[in-house]
């Protein structure tokens, strides 16, 4: 197992701040390493309910917490531009006093991909998303590392003497946690990432088993190591983050024999997380419970996991 396994949470931006701030404070009190939120315009079954902006939510969270890291899982190019995002990130990192991690990914289909389309415009193809993602990460890295005067003229994005003074509170910039499973995304993680993020293999969520899911993730780790070797990077330099909730273990529609029900008890979670710790993961992220949703869980059990699981994995 890894020397230290970190446990973090995702708090969806669905709560008015009068209630939401209590959750973020509670997450810090429980000892979570980090609390992330999703950066979407809306998301899946939550589309018809409240959904607030990620950066303002994290900014507010930074003012009511002191120790816990904060971040996105994940931001994508779907509705973001590197120049404006960089300005928001340096502001957020300043307010949070250097506690921000940017989870970043290529994005996908759904509301984020279609909300800004005009007329008969079509959503980007997977290839175009990958093309944009590569340029997006490159330019964002440049903007955050060169706050005085960053210029770029690319195929999709440009910047002319962009200024982001005084730069990030963290030097040379805040860390990137790159979500990727394909070869191009893994190459970006190897080149620019301080961490790599996976949700497992989505094809196995409905038809796979816990064992098959772990095997698929092990394959992703092998490909990540290869990408690091090709980039001349030591793989141990990257943290490995598993965002849970999207493997067969968490699918309530599957029979018990094919899933692990990790949030049903402390013992079940330790068994689940231990398997991924043995694979080399350094951080496990669980969703804060939401009643009547795919993320429903017993709050008391969840809080026991938050406070006791890490010591059982050390």
Domain residue ranges of the chain, discontinuous segments joined by +: 6-312
Where does 6-312 sit in CATH, by number?
Answer: 3.20.20.30
Q: pLDDT in tens for each of the 314 residues of the chain?
A: 345 799 999 999 999 999 999 999 999 999 999 999 999 999 999 999 999 999 999 999 999 999 999 999 999 999 999 999 999 999 999 999 999 999 999 998 888 999 999 988 999 999 999 999 999 999 999 999 999 989 999 999 999 999 999 999 999 999 999 999 999 999 999 999 999 999 999 999 988 999 999 999 999 999 999 999 999 999 999 999 999 999 999 988 887 666 678 999 999 999 999 999 999 999 999 999 999 999 999 999 999 999 999 999 86
The Cα 7–Cα 125 span in angstroms is: 35
**Are 217 and 196 contacting, i.e. CB atoms less than 8 angstroms apart?**
no
* Tokens found for residue 35: 């609390």
**Are 224 and 188 contacting, i.e. CB atoms less than 8 angstroms apart?**
no
* Tokens found for residue 236: 């141990």
* Tokens found for residue 140: 């964002």
pTM attached to this predicted model? 0.95
């Amino acid at each position: 197992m890894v020397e230290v396994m970190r446990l973090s949470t995702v708090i969806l931006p669905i709560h008015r701040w009068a209630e939401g701030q209590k959750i973020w404070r509670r997450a810090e009190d429980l000892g979570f390493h980090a609390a992330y939120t999703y950066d979407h315009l809306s998301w899946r079954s939550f589309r018809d309910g409240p959904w607030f902006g990620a950066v303002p939510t994290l900014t507010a969270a930074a003012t009511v917490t002191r120790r816990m890291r904060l971040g996105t899982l994940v931001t994508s190019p779907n509705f973001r531009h590197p120049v404006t995002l960089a300005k928001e990130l340096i502001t957020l990192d300043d307010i949070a006093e250097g506690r921000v991690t940017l989870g970043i990914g290529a994005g996908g289909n759904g509301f984020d991909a279609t909300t800004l389309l005009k007329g008969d415009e079509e959503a980007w193809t997977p290839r175009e998303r990958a093309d944009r993602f590569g340029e997006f990460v490159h330019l964002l890295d440049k903007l955050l590392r060169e706050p005085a005067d960053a210029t770029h003229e690319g195929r999709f994005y440009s910047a002319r003497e962009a200024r982001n003074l005084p730069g990030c509170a963290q030097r040379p910039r805040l860390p990137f946690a790159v979500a990727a499973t394909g070869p191009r995304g893994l190459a970006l993680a190897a080149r620019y990432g301080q961490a790599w993020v996976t949700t497992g293999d989505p094809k196995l969520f409905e038809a796979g088993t816990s064992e098959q899911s772990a095997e698929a993730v092990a394959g992703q780790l092998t490909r990540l190591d290869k990408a690091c070797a090709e980039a001349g990077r030591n793989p141990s330099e990257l943290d490995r983050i598993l965002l849970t909730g999207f493997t067969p273990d968490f699918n309530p529609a599957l029979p018990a024999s094919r899933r692990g029900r990790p949030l049903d008890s402390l013992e079940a979670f330790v068994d689940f997380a231990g398997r991924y710790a043995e694979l080399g993961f350094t951080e496990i992220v669980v969703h804060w419970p939401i009643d009547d949703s795919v993320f429903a869980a017993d709050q008391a059990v969840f809080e026991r996991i938050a406070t006791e699981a890490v010591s059982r994995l050390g």
